[in-house]
Every structure is written in C-alpha cells, then in structure tokens.
Amino acid sequence: MTGVGTAELERLLVRGWRRQGPMYFRPACGACGECVSIRIPVDRFRPTESQKRARRRCARFRLVLDRPRVDDERLALYAAWHAGRERDRAWEPAPMDAEAYAVQFAYPHPAAWELSLRDGDRLAAVTLCDVTPKAWSAVFGFFDPGAARLSPGVATVLVAVEMARERGIPHVYLGYRVMGCPSMRYKSGFRPHELLQGFPAADEAPRWVEAG
C-alpha cells in the first residue's frame, strides 16, 4: 500500500490497521481472534497506582519528541533490548543493521514521530509513534534493559496519553492485545480501554466497545 497520507492512516487505524515502515497490516488468521485492536480513550483514562509509580520513577528522564532517525546510539539500544528479550523470554535472535532500522522504524511518513527518554546524554528508551489529528498510535518501543525496573514502557504510554490530551487527540492506539502473550497482554492493564469488534471494511463503520 503506497501513498497513504495522514488522513488515510487515521481511517486505517480506527479499523484496526497498523503501520510499520512502508507496510500496513492487520491480522488475517481465520478463526483465531486472539489479536484484538485496543485503544485508550484519553479523557476517561485513569492510571492505576502502579502506573503512577512507573511515571514518577521515569520523571528523571528528559522527554524528546522528534522525527525518527537511525544512528549508532539507537542501533546499540535496540541490540541491547533484544538481547535481553532473547535471554529472558527465549526470543529468536534478530540482528538489526542501519538499513533495516531505517526501513522499519525511520521510514519517512508525515505522521511518524519518535518519543525518546534520555538520562542526561544517554538514550534510555525509544517509542516510535504515528500521530494524526484524532489518533496517537504507539507503533513499537524498546529500552535499556538496565532501566527495566523503572517500567519505561508503562511510563511512555502515560506520556503518550498526556501528550495526546494536550493536543486534543481522543485516542491512543496500542496495537493488538494478545492475552496469551506476556509481551502483548500488558496492554489490557490500561483502563478503561476500548476493543475493536471484528475487522471492519473500508466502507463499514468500526465498532469499539469499552472494557474495564
């Protein structure tokens, strides 16, 4: 799919599609319904005490919102994060060179942004986002394994909600909730949240149902 601008991306997001680099996708797994699109209604969201603590722990970091780019610092952070996942969650190795990173995470798109956390001059976490007038989509994130105890992933979601609220954006999209996968199940902890019913076509009105 090419030539997808910000307005068209917004119409895709509300129907359960995601963007990564030049690719647009959503699940097509027949009878399996484990991948469910999930989004946070910004005005009604209330963080739990645990999530508030994560936000406070990460208050030490400087927030930077800028266009995505690729450099040695980001490649090293991604490699360290993925190595931690390989060790702790038995993930398969997935080497990432500058060319692959540029395509997957720094592909030029008018909606593409990078939300990063910095500890002084050191990069601690990166979340790639798509931002449109009515949608903030968290695309992909990774962080320094040494900062895992601070819960930067949770804190970054709260930052995204804060920034969306400031901009009048009604929803933060978190991709797909998969209850059988720890790396995807955590999304259900942001409450209340809304779940997309089925896979609406382009000419079909999407139906989101609030949960939690």
Q: Give the separation between CA 22 and CA 200, rounded to whole angstroms.
A: 22
Residue 190's pLDDT band (cuts 50, 70, 90): very high
Mean pLDDT of 20-34: 85
In a domain, 81, yes or no: yes
Residue type, 153: G
Residue 30's pLDDT band (cuts 50, 70, 90): low
CATH of the domain at 42: 3.40.630.30
- Output the six-digit token pair for 194: 């809304």
In a domain, 1, yes or no: no
Q: Give the separation between CA 172 and CA 154, rounded to whole angstroms.
A: 13
Backbone angles phi and psi of 174, in degrees to 5: -110, 10
Q: Give the separation between CA 16 and CA 173, rounded to whole angstroms.
A: 9
When divided into structural domains, the chain yields a total of: 1
Confidence check: pLDDT of 1 > 80: no
In a domain, 41, yes or no: yes
40 strand-pairing partners: 172
Question: If DSSP states are collapsed to H, E and C, what string results for 118-170?
Answer: EECCEEEEEEEEEEECCEEEEEEEEECHHHHHHCHHHHHHHHHHHHHHHHCCC
Q: Which of 134, 195, 139, 126 is nearest to 168 (CA)?
A: 134
- pLDDT reported for residue 32: 76
Residue 102 lies in domain = 6-211
Mean pLDDT of 67-76: 98
Instruction: Report the predicted TM-score, pTM, of the whole model to 2 decimal places.
Output: 0.95
DSSP state of 93: P
197 and 208 Cβ atoms separated by less than 8 Å = yes
Mean pLDDT of 67-77: 98
- Output the six-digit token pair for 31: 């009878």
Confidence check: pLDDT of 130 > 80: yes
